[in-house]
Amino acid sequence: MTDELYRRERFPSGLAHLGLDTVEREIPSDEPPALAANAELNWIGKAVPRWDAREKVTGTARYTVDIHLPGMLHAAVLRSPYPHARIKSIDISQAEATPGVQAVLRLFATDVPDEEVFVRYAGQAIVAVAADTPELARQVLQSITIDYEPLPFFVDLASSKQAVNATVYENSDLAGVQSAGLPAMATDYELNVNVLGPTNQHSRGDIHKGFAEAAVIAEGRYQTQVQTHCCMEPHAIVASWGGDALEIWMSTQFTAGVRAQFARQFDLPLARVRVHANAIGGGFGSKSQMSWYGRTAAELSRLAGAPVRLVYHRDEEQLDSGNRSSSEQALRIGARADGTLSAIQLQSYGSAGTAFNAGVGAIAAAMYQCTNVDTEHFDVFTNTGPSTAMRGPGNTQGAFALEQAIDEIARQLNMDPVVLRDKIDGSPVRREERRLGAEKIGWAQRTSPGADSGPIKCGLGMAQSMWPALVQTNAACEVRLWRDGRVEVLSSVQDIGTGVGTTLIQVVAEELGIAPELIQVRIGDTEFPSGPPSYGSRTTASITPPARVAAWRVKQALLSMLASNWEVSADELQIQQGQIYLQSDPARRISWQQAAAMLRTDRISETAGRGDDYAGFASHNGDAAMAINGLGGVQFAEVEVDTETGVIRVLKVVAVQDCGRPINPIQLESQVQGGVLMGVSYALLEERIMDTHTGLMLNPNFIDYKLLGLCDMPEIEVTLLENYQGLSATDAYGIAEPANIPTAPAIANAVYNAIGVRLYSLPMTPDKVLQALGTVRGGQG
């Protein structure tokens, strides 16, 4: 140990499969030395089985819906049957008088008279009740009388954009409008009937000059649909007051974040709110906040003086738990004869229902080199359930347009789409991903559109993604060593299914030189140091470095104790496979357990926070920071299109992705597979369908809302790059979102390659394929 605050270390650097270099970084002196590349490690980079796999497959894992507390009540929610209405009166007296009903709560501010309350989408919550049984709770909703005055509405982007009279908000309402994506305020913009904006503009250079220089121009209008999250576990919470403390069990992507929200909402000290999240059945962005239903469960519990359980039904999931916003994108790209881009112009509209920030990401302005760029985005409010972040929000919609337009440029220039991207994409990592992917899919064998003779045409296509490498800088992790040699890793970080628990075990086992069996992970509880959220693909990047730092410090403490006992220097001690020995005299050794037994106290503990990346951050906003280099991936799709039925089958997807240092390849592969499957499902099937006359959702179930099934799944080949940059104690970053973004455009490009016709609208259903082929007339709608 040194007294200096910083020291210099050399880290592995570069892409492992191409041969590694090193990079020197200045690091805090209380952080561990540079971690070797995966090839030299015992646990990190290895396919360690998921820590909770047995519990999950045997059904013993406890989800929030499995929590049953003594005396627990059940909540049910009365929701608006109208897409837009003024509420003239609410009568809850009969419900309040019903035996077994313990609390009835009106969900609008109490100081607002009934007649000034508006509901803005069908499914919006109005009253919540807590009763002795779930059946009674739902049944008693029927005794609540609400007098509605139905008002005009629009449920689709195209009509709402043209609306003459506002059907969602007035300017004065904007302060209360929630954001569907990154934090932003609707009040910063002007509302024009139902259209807000432009809300997001990227402008550089001179596009007029750029288009004048263009040898070719690709122009298209792209449409993407509303997709719902479809978490297998519904939104669920159990809230319980004990004196002046609030205890919450919640299926959430951010225990520490919702604790802060509950504390603020109920004016409680942070230390008096405890949030648990054990097993979680998916979130995909929709379980990031306390939300009104969290607040409602806690309010009902306080009113009733008993724990309250609130669990969404599937139709409530589909109507009111968030969704991916729709988009309409007019994209125009100009390129010079050599392929370099001379101008990018994008005008986009998006609808996040009653929320705003229905963006299409920054991917059009940021993925490729181009000096002349002009993008503007407008939010269109509709009388539909509010969107929230969903796996790669914005960029997923944006990539569908951008990546098809780039392919169109390649076609016009008679260039290979991979070669064109090599020219216009400055990222060396993406270039390598393209090279590997092309090799694995057999890109060289790609034929021209329509080359197959029969009605069934095959095609290959590719697309790529980008996503910021995000880090939560207030993430912290504790590592404890007990006298019996057992180790605990503690953080409020939650495992939403990605396997962060396993990852933590691997990192700590690696640092301590002991077997994973000695390590227990305790996460998803805010009594432990605050972990990061599981959104924005940031969990691994945020929590694994502090876990390793804390483990290293515990190790240092154990070794110092032993060193002073043996009268040697701690620097001379080594740990390998659970044995601690003197480097100069390996025969002098002691087992990990024996050393731990010598501790003066029952346990020792270290807590570490996530420091800055060793090379700093590209930007820092509150507790969130962006690493110097982003993440991405390239996907190649092989499809088969039946030109007589319009059915597209995706036969194979090759996904080449980067995430810094991969910690657990099987978990990463399964996350990439999840991203691809979600992408195929988005490309071919999923769509929230609204009835324009009644304003109601027509498919709020899993029969009519079509999700990809087992028989529709393509073969998926995943390749993970090992990309070392020496940026943190683990040098690991995320993967969830970049694995979802490129799938739909890769399929669309493959469809073009198969049939020579471009599909501009998602999902690419048989009727749209037949329409594009000119086989059937367009719809009259």
Partner 1 sequence: MQRFEWQRANTPEMATAHTRTTAQAMLSLDKEPEAHQSILIKAGGVDLLDLMKAGLVVPKRLVDISQLHELEGISRTAEGGFRIGTLTTLAQIAGHETLAQQYPALIDAVASAASPQIRNRATIGGNLLQRPRCWYLRSAAHHCLRKGGAHCFALDGDNRYHAIFANQSCAIVHASTPATPLLAFSAEVELRNHDGKQRRVALKDFFRLPQADLHRENILADGELLTAVLLPPPSPANRSVYLEVGEKAAFDWPLAAVSIVLQMARDQQCQQASIVLGAVAPIPWQASAAEAVVQGARINSETARAAAEAALTDATPLADNGYKLHLVKTLVQRAIMSTVN
Residues that bind partner 1 (CB under 8 A): 81, 122, 135, 139, 644-647, 649, 684-685, 689, 691-694, 696, 698-699, 703-704, 706, 708-712, 765-767, 770-771, 775-777, 779-781
Burial per residue of 116-132, b for 16 or more beta-carbon CB atoms within 10 angstroms, e otherwise: ebbbbbbbbbbbbbbbb
Which CB sits closer to partner 1, 133 or 564?
133
Which CB sits closer to partner 1, 147 or 571?
147
Give the number of C-alpha atoms closer than 13 A to the C-alpha of residue 50, restricted to the C-beta side.
20
Q: Are 210 and 196 in contact (CB under 8 A)?
A: no
**In the complex, minimum distance from the CB of residue 767 to partner 1, in angstroms, rounded to a whole number:** 4
**In the complex, minimum distance from the CB of residue 639 to partner 1, in angstroms, rounded to a whole number:** 14
Which CB sits closer to partner 1, 343 or 748?
748
Which CB sits closer to partner 1, 21 or 135?
135
Which CB sits closer to partner 1, 197 or 695?
695
Collapsed DSSP state (helix, strand, coil) of residue 66: helix
Which CB sits closer to partner 1, 127 or 401?
127
**In the complex, minimum distance from the CB of residue 147 to partner 1, in angstroms, rounded to a whole number:** 18
Q: Are 707 and 638 in contact (CB under 8 A)?
A: no
SS3 for 465-502, per residue?
EEECCEEECCCEEEEEEECCCCEEEEECCCCCCCCHHH
Adjacent-strand bridge partners of 78: 127
Adjacent-strand bridge partners of 127: 78, 106
Which CB sits closer to partner 1, 26 or 691?
691
Adjacent-strand bridge partners of 531: none
Which CB sits closer to partner 1, 122 or 191?
122
> Cα–Cα distance between 593 and 572 in angstroms, integer?
19
Contacts of 291 (CB under 8 A, 6+ apart): 235
Adjacent-strand bridge partners of 666: none
Whether the bond into 198 is cis, omega within 30 of 0: yes
**In the complex, minimum distance from the CB of residue 766 to partner 1, in angstroms, rounded to a whole number:** 6
**In the complex, minimum distance from the CB of residue 455 to partner 1, in angstroms, rounded to a whole number:** 8
Which CB sits closer to partner 1, 341 or 684?
684
Collapsed DSSP state (helix, strand, coil) of residue 356: strand
**In the complex, minimum distance from the CB of residue 465 to partner 1, in angstroms, rounded to a whole number:** 26
Contacts of 391 (CB under 8 A, 6+ apart): 284, 285, 324, 675, 678, 736, 737, 740
Residue 288 tokens read as: 């990031």
Q: Are 446 and 460 in contact (CB under 8 A)?
A: yes
> Cα–Cα distance between 76 and 135 in angstroms, integer?
9
Which CB sits closer to partner 1, 20 or 689?
689
**In the complex, minimum distance from the CB of residue 74 to partner 1, in angstroms, rounded to a whole number:** 15
**In the complex, minimum distance from the CB of residue 744 to partner 1, in angstroms, rounded to a whole number:** 16
Length of the chain: 781
Which CB sits closer to partner 1, 93 or 645?
645
Which CB sits closer to partner 1, 444 or 711?
711
DSSP string, 256-282: HHHHHHHHHHTT--GGGEEEE--B---
**In the complex, minimum distance from the CB of residue 691 to partner 1, in angstroms, rounded to a whole number:** 5
> Cα–Cα distance between 580 and 513 in angstroms, integer?
9
Collapsed DSSP state (helix, strand, coil) of residue 171: helix
**In the complex, minimum distance from the CB of residue 708 to partner 1, in angstroms, rounded to a whole number:** 8
> What distance lies between CA 97 and its chain's CA centroid?
44
598 to each of 239, 396, 508, 551, 572, how far by Cα in Å?
Answer: 43, 55, 21, 18, 19
Q: Are 95 and 309 in contact (CB under 8 A)?
A: no
Which CB sits closer to partner 1, 290 or 696?
696
SS3 for 760-779, per residue?
CECCCCHHHHHHHCCCCCCC
**In the complex, minimum distance from the CB of residue 137 to partner 1, in angstroms, rounded to a whole number:** 13
Collapsed DSSP state (helix, strand, coil) of residue 89: strand
Whether the bond into 234 is cis, omega within 30 of 0: no
> Cα–Cα distance between 83 and 484 in angstroms, integer?
61
CA 278, 282, 288, 292: dihedral to nearest 10 degrees?
Answer: -90
Q: What is the DSSP letter of 49?
A: P
**In the complex, minimum distance from the CB of residue 654 to partner 1, in angstroms, rounded to a whole number:** 21
**In the complex, minimum distance from the CB of residue 141 to partner 1, in angstroms, rounded to a whole number:** 12
Residue 183 tokens read as: 């934090």
Which CB sits closer to partner 1, 8 or 693?
693
Q: Are 564 and 613 in contact (CB under 8 A)?
A: no
**In the complex, minimum distance from the CB of residue 223 to partner 1, in angstroms, rounded to a whole number:** 16
**In the complex, minimum distance from the CB of residue 781 to partner 1, in angstroms, rounded to a whole number:** 6
> Cα–Cα distance between 546 and 622 in angstroms, integer?
19
Which CB sits closer to partner 1, 369 or 645?
645
